[in-house]
Structure 1
Amino acid sequence: MFMRHWLTSAFAAVAALIVGLAVSACGSTSTPQDVTAIRHVFVITLENEGYATTFSSTTQAPYLANTLASQGALVQQYYGTGHVSLDNYISMISGQSPTVDTDNDCTTYEDMTTTGTTTDGQVIGTGCVYPASVKTLPDQLTAAGFTWKGYEEDMGNNPTRESATCGHPTLNTTDATQTAEAATQTYPADMYATRHDPFMYFHSIIDSPDCATNVVNLTNLQTDLQSVATTPNFSFITPNLCDDGHDTDCVNGDPGGLTSANTFLQKWVPLITSSPAFQKDGLLIINFDESSYASAPVITDTSESYTFTGTTCCSEQPGPNLAAYPQTSSLVYDGFTVNLTKTNYGGDQTGAVMISKFIKPGTVSTVPYNHYSMLRTIETIFGVGYLGYAGQSGLATMGTDIFTNLH
């Protein structure tokens, strides 16, 4: 996440749009015993909007905020785990907290230097790409006999920048995918961002020959959805920098922001929810990596400055690698400087939407959850144990407040 963007105040008034089955935070959050009836989980991660913006009465994403939320569960108190982007994606599939580098989007795609591991599974070190000893949800699923794929929009559009499968920069070089690339006479626009593809930050994945078949361009998804047998048990779907809502005035001429995110969902969600695997035993989770900026930017010709609130939930811990807050840092993109002030280490309230035949339409949950909670829930579904902060004592697994059609 960075620069020249949307910038709706995170303090906008929240309007409740969904009328249905509301479950309060003091209600039951126990996990249904038959949660393992879910065998296909789809996650679509969007970018950089707060709950008050996405789910307001003036939302630019009415398909998400109104149509899809009414078809399943609106999870009002869903939180990101950090700012700016990459640390959130890493937490979703590994339970790892940030390093100084992942907390600032790893503009250099570099190996981690580690000095140890905490008792709760947190790697101590600096850098971006975790050693092969650090396991992920895909590693757990493979070991348990389940299948998984990452579907990455635009990956490989410009094959001189990144491969169309398992696409990432060369180790220990500058990450050229930090900004969207306009179309040329040779290649279409390439708006793939490695930092939004969490699989690329683990040697256990990128060093495996399976990476080329498991991390692929989004165009493969429609074919894979044709049968239960070809649909992975876990699918992580990353739109490009325009369709995920990150950019505005996109390099392909699209508006970006929530408008383009809404259009993306209108295309892909019906393909998922009408697929045989989803109809049989599927769960779709639509979340955001983090909330929008908490303050209006201070803008000059050469820089922009932002302040993040960094609100947390769920007794989230900062991990062993970050200094005390508040923190300031600067990122440089093509000579333009983005100055960041983070007053705390959280990712603020984003909300999420979940759809499944195991969820009654119109469900509203007010129980607090975050990315670690989502990982814990998926690990519970597949019975594979908990990684890192997904195993934190007292962390809630998504339960009967959401899965209102499971008993």
Structure 2
Amino acid sequence: MSRRGRATLPAIAVAVVAVLVAGAAAGTPAAPRTPRLAATGPAAVPHVMLIVEENRSEEAVIGAPQAPFVNALASRYGVATASYAESHPSLPNYLELLSGTTWGVTDDGTGYSFPGPTLADQLQQHGIPWRAYMESMPRPCYPGGGFNGYAKKHDPFMYFRSITGNATSCANVVPFTALHADLASGAPPAFLWVTPNLCDDGHDCSTETMDRWLATNLPPLLESSWFAQDGVVIITWDEGSGGSGCCRGAHGGRIATLVVSSRLYQHASSATPIDHAGTLRTIEELYSLPFLGDAACSCSGDLRSLIESPPTAALTWLTVSHFR
């Protein structure tokens, strides 16, 4: 297999990791360092993380001074400028992201149970390791509607019998703290889903809190060998405000969707309309999986143009001062 060098750790990650280690009170900006070069070329199995945040329209995030980390990512990596949520309220959007349909749901009820299939089922069937990390979840496969900031309505995995009725699959729906151990092991699963708790995802707390959580938790992943090996991190929001939409009739408002890719060597943006089914479609394309539900329609859009660009030396290096 041919190999080519690539920068695996943008200074955005280096800088914030330095803050975590040294402490925010140190006040000394970290100097940029030369990026490590990793072997590239298509990995046997792509590495993808999906992070779902809460209740922000695109204009409340992109360009907002309350979100310096998100905007630093947006200025360096990929941004979908015509991204739309599926519906209101939260739950139908999460169901769409995981299964390609809202199942007709129009509320945040916790008693629903659907047969599947889901993206998790597809990955399981194809032998692709996956895990869903739920912040503040008290234990793996927790069946309750909520706990100390964990909300089932933001955890679509627990709505599907194909997962909850399968002990192996359900054991993959775990507290967020397990991610740190998985990263430390050097062998996290190929697909990672992350849902922060009700405060850290911006649902109950400020945009600053949401941004700070990302600035704390994302850099260790970007510094890992997992990301270096064809890693792609998609950050999206469940719903915006109002009823604007696109594609097959999505009407959940315009949202921000970012793509942080180890194969994207310069900033890129896409004005092609995309909804949550298009995000699912993109993930299925990366793993060469069949399309589920609404993802089967190319009208849902995709994020492929934000995942890869030709190598270039024109990388933008950021220091810790960008996040003060």
Which residue matches 1:236? 193
Query: Do the aligned partners of 1:153 and 1:239 also contact (CA within 8 Å) in 2?
Result: yes
Q: TM-score, normalised by structure 1?
A: 0.63
* Superposition pairs of residues 112-127 of structure 1, within 5 angstroms: none
Query: Do the aligned partners of 2:56 and 2:237 also contact (CA within 8 Å) in 1?
Result: yes
Q: Say whether 1:219 aligns with 2:177.
A: yes
Give the direction of change, closer, same or farther, for the CA distance of 1:220–1:377 in structure 2 (3 Å limit).
same
Deviation at 1:69, TM superposition (A): 1.2
Which residue matches 2:68? 62
Give the direction of change, closer, same or farther, for the CA distance of 1:35–1:87 in structure 2 (3 Å limit).
farther
Distance 1:369 1:360 in 2: 22
Which residue matches 1:150? 132
Q: SS at the partner of 1:400?
A: helix
Q: Which residue type is aligned with residue 209 of structure 2?
A: S
Query: Do the aligned partners of 1:85 and 1:290 also contact (CA within 8 Å) in 2?
Result: yes
Runs (5+) with no aligned partner, structure 2: 1-40, 312-324
State which structure, 1 or 2, has the greater radius of gyration over its C-alpha atoms: 1
Deviation at 1:61, TM superposition (A): 1.0
Structure 1 segments (4+ residues) deviating >3 Å: 34-38
* Superposition pairs of residues 28-107 of structure 1, within 5 angstroms: 39-56=46-63, 58-65=64-71, 67-99=72-104, 102-106=105-109
Deviation at 1:393, TM superposition (A): 4.7
Q: 1:322-363 CA distances to partner (integer Å, 9 max, x unpaired)? A: xxxxxxxxxxxxxxxxxxxxxxx6111112111112113321
Q: Which residue type is aligned with residue 147 of structure 1?
A: P
Query: Do the aligned partners of 1:35 and 1:381 also contact (CA within 8 Å) in 2?
Result: no
Distance 2:101 2:244 in 1: 18
Q: Which of residues 191, 195, 208 is equivalent to 2:149?
A: 191
Which residue matches 1:119? none
Query: Do the aligned partners of 2:79 and 2:306 also contact (CA within 8 Å) in 1?
Result: no
Q: Which residue type is aligned with residue 62 of structure 2?
A: F
Query: Do the aligned partners of 1:364 and 1:402 also contact (CA within 8 Å) in 2?
Result: no
Deviation at 1:212, TM superposition (A): 4.3
Q: Which residue type is aligned with residue 238 of structure 1?
A: T
Q: Say whether 1:382 aligns with 2:287.
A: yes
Distance 1:51 1:374 in 2: 16
Distance 1:151 1:363 in 2: 28
Give the direction of change, closer, same or farther, for the CA distance of 1:206–1:267 in structure 2 (3 Å limit).
same
Distance 2:281 2:42 in 1: 13
Query: Do the aligned partners of 2:163 and 2:170 also contact (CA within 8 Å) in 1?
Result: no
Q: Which residue type is aligned with residue 75 of structure 1?
A: A
Which residue matches 2:229? 280
Q: How much identity, in percent, do the aligned residues show? A: 34
Distance 1:60 1:401 in 2: 24
Deviation at 1:394, TM superposition (A): 3.5
Give the direction of change, closer, same or farther, for the CA distance of 1:98–1:82 in structure 2 (3 Å limit).
farther
Distance 2:106 2:42 in 1: 33
Which residue matches 1:270? 219
Query: Do the aligned partners of 2:200 and 2:210 also contact (CA within 8 Å) in 1?
Result: yes
Decide which structure has greater helix share.
Answer: 2
Deviation at 1:227, TM superposition (A): 4.5
Q: Which residue type is aligned with residue 137 of structure 2?
A: M
RMSD of Structure 2 on Structure 1 (CA): 1.9
Query: Do the aligned partners of 1:146 and 1:233 also contact (CA within 8 Å) in 2?
Result: yes
Query: Do the aligned partners of 2:42 and 2:230 also contact (CA within 8 Å) in 1?
Result: no
Query: Do the aligned partners of 1:79 and 1:347 also contact (CA within 8 Å) in 2?
Result: yes
Distance 1:283 1:104 in 2: 31
The aligned length equals: 271
